[in-house]
Amino acid sequence: MLLRRIALVLAGMMALSVVLVFILRWVDPPTSAFMIQRWITAHSEPGDPPYVYHEWADWDAIPAAVKLAVIAAEDQRFPGHGGFDTIEIERAWERYRAGERLRGASTISQQTAKNLFLWSGRDPIRKGLEVWYTLLIETLWPKERILEVYLNIAQLSPDTFGVGAASWRYFDRPVMALSSSDAALIAAVLPNPNIYRLETPSATVQRRATWIRRQMAQLGGVSYLNKL
């Protein structure tokens, strides 16, 4: 009886997650799990509100250069994989076996699933849920929607989420006015926005932005987005 109840609860949770992801294909999420966590944490820290800066930017308002820069920086095989980059996973595993630190190989799809629905950390439960939600969004959303949501919820500073808010806070203009250089700087801080800062880009961030601009050109420029 207990196992049956557990199975029913799990089945219900899975069904609810499917419905939620299906709805979010068309409904813009007003917040994310990571934003909520930041808002809660900030209440225990000194400082006044707002604790979270976020402004939704529609797909058509986001410059192609911003979309391309994030793909070039984070997931160059994004148009072609089904949510998981097996090539990068194999490379990460080979480097680990060779004695290097195990590095993540998360795709944009995985990061979207994690940031939108889950919490930070590496525990097995979270990783399992990340796989589930990644499969859901890859099945139920087109690539353009996955990238649109990611660009709107990605953390770009300790309290700034999404390119809409970042463009006003750090470039003093709307997202549609961002240049290719601005786009590369935004993408450059994504690996660790608590260390890499847009307000005072370090030499490391500047070098990474230069590398991203080269990668954007090597991918063929904004025409690469036609593969989505």
What tens digit of pLDDT does each residue of 177-209 get?
A: 999 999 999 999 999 999 999 999 999 999 999
- Homologous superfamily (CATH) of 30-227 is Biosynthetic peptidoglycan transglycosylase-like (1.10.3810.10)
Question: 21-69: per-residue pLDDT in tens?
Answer: 999 999 999 999 999 999 999 888 887 788 899 999 999 999 999 999 9
Instruction: Please tell me whether residue 53 adopts helix, strand or coil conformation.
Output: strand
Averaged pLDDT for residues 204-223? 97
Q: How far is C-alpha 34 from the chain's CA centre?
A: 11
Question: 62-119: per-residue pLDDT in tens?
Answer: 999 999 999 999 999 999 999 998 888 788 777 767 666 656 678 999 999 999 999 8
> Alpha carbon of 168 to those of 177, 211, 212: distances in Å?
10, 24, 22
Q: What is the pLDDT of residue 101?
A: 61
By C-alpha distance, which of 226, 186, 192 is closest to 206? Answer: 186
Q: What is the pLDDT of residue 81?
A: 94
> Alpha carbon of 218 to those of 162, 201, 208: distances in Å?
26, 24, 15
Give just the sign of the alpha carbon dihedral 94, 95, 98, 101: negative
pTM above 0.75, yes or no: yes
By C-alpha distance, which of 74, 75, 54 is closest to 163? Answer: 54
CA dist 187 and 72 (Å) reads: 8
Which amino acid, one-letter code, is at 102?
Answer: L
